[in-house]
Amino acid sequence: MHPTTDAFLVHLADLGLSAASLAAYRTELLRQERLLTGLGQSWETAGTSTLLHAVAAGNRAPVTRRRAQHLIGRFLAFAGLPQGPEWRRLPAPRAVCPAPDCLSEAEEKALRKTLAKRVDQPTHARDRALFCLLLDTGLRVSEAAALTVGDVDRDGRRVRVTAKGGKRRSRFLPTETRDLLAGIAGTRDLEAPLFVSSTGGALTDRQIRRLLSRWAQLAGLQRSVHPHLLRHTFATSLLKKTGNLRLVQLALDHESPKTTAIYAHVADEELRTAIEGRRD
């Protein structure tokens, strides 16, 4: 690893980047170093064409190359390497964002129904509360895993979340989800994890992913289901209901409206359907 890499990651951490983002950036930088080593090059000796080749290696999608190019540009500038200014003037690869995948209404209904009728184990109430929370608020899996009992307001109408960059945000809770969370919170200590594993600690991101996959199979869903799919489902449903991308941006805690724009296809499809059916 380049001696400046750790210092660069510490610099990014000081700027408030999440642990997940830092881990992803570290992985990307190590990937680039391995590719450069295989080409007999290093950060110091590689020219722009070599770096671009490393970024695109493996037939990566434009959006992935765009992120890698941006990261490498920041690293080169931070390390004071000669390619920094030249690299920053490069045009970014054209990023074509695909429409986000989400559960259909039938799939969401099947998942909720399965969660509601399986009550034979104590953990089932926890799982139902957890996945209804994700479906009804669009929380990231890391945000849900970090919740404590005290993060749920006493009146149950909101949950306080530690979002990206350590920011504290409040999310509204539908009545059913409030009741489910109150049921698993009980009278436990306010500092206790809201979603508890079998060992007594907080559920991890990985455990939540495995649990959701198991419930999706029980619900008869014939595809891979992961927590971020529930976030997309929430956002898509909210946009269909309101037609307001700004509300979706606020609900998902997106800093830039460009991030929320991936859901614009939902509004476009609704508009197309409305126009086609206008004279029916």
In the residue annotation, 140 being an active-site residue is answered as yes
In the residue annotation, 258 being an active-site residue is answered as no
Residue 84 binned pLDDT confidence (cut-offs 50, 70, 90): low
Fold type of domain 5-88: DNA polymerase; domain 1 (1.10.150)
Note the pLDDT of residue 278.
Answer: 40
Please give the helix or strand (H or E) that residue 79 lies within, else none.
helix 62-79
Note the pLDDT of residue 17.
Answer: 75
Residue 271 binned pLDDT confidence (cut-offs 50, 70, 90): very low
Hey, CA dihedral for 9, 151, 101, 250, is it positive or negative? negative
What's the rounded Cα separation, in Å, for the pair 190 and 123? 20
Contacts of residue 24, defined as CB under 8 A and 6 or more positions apart, other chains included, come to none
Enter the tokens of residue 164.
């990206």
CA atoms within 13 A on the CB side of 83: 19
Catalytic one among 157, 160, 164, 188? Answer: 164
Among the ranges given (45-49, 88-92, 125-129, 195-199), the one the predictor scored with the smallest mean pLDDT? 88-92
CATH number given to 105-273: 1.10.443.10
What's the rounded Cα separation, in Å, for the pair 74 and 103? 37
In the residue annotation, 2 being an active-site residue is answered as no
Note the pLDDT of residue 97.
Answer: 54
In the residue annotation, 231 being an active-site residue is answered as yes
Catalytic one among 140, 171, 178, 232? Answer: 140
Catalytic one among 67, 112, 231, 232? Answer: 231
Domain spans in the chain, listed from the N-terminal domain onward: 5-88, 105-273
What's the whole-number mean pLDDT along residues 128-140?
Answer: 94
Catalytic one among 209, 228, 240, 265? Answer: 228
Catalytic one among 11, 60, 118, 254? Answer: 254
5-88 and 105-273 agree in CATH topology:
no
In the residue annotation, 25 being an active-site residue is answered as no
216-245 pLDDT tens trace:
999 999 899 999 999 889 888 888 787 777
Percent of the chain with pLDDT over 70: 83
Note the pLDDT of residue 94.
Answer: 61
Note the pLDDT of residue 217.
Answer: 95
Note the pLDDT of residue 88.
Answer: 62
Residue 145 binned pLDDT confidence (cut-offs 50, 70, 90): very high
In the residue annotation, 265 being an active-site residue is answered as no
* Most confident range, picked from 52-56, 177-181, 256-260: 177-181
Amino acid at 124: H
Asked whether the beta carbons of 212 and 226 are under 8 A apart, the reply is yes
| pLDDT of 87 higher than 70 | no
Asked whether the beta carbons of 12 and 33 are under 8 A apart, the reply is no
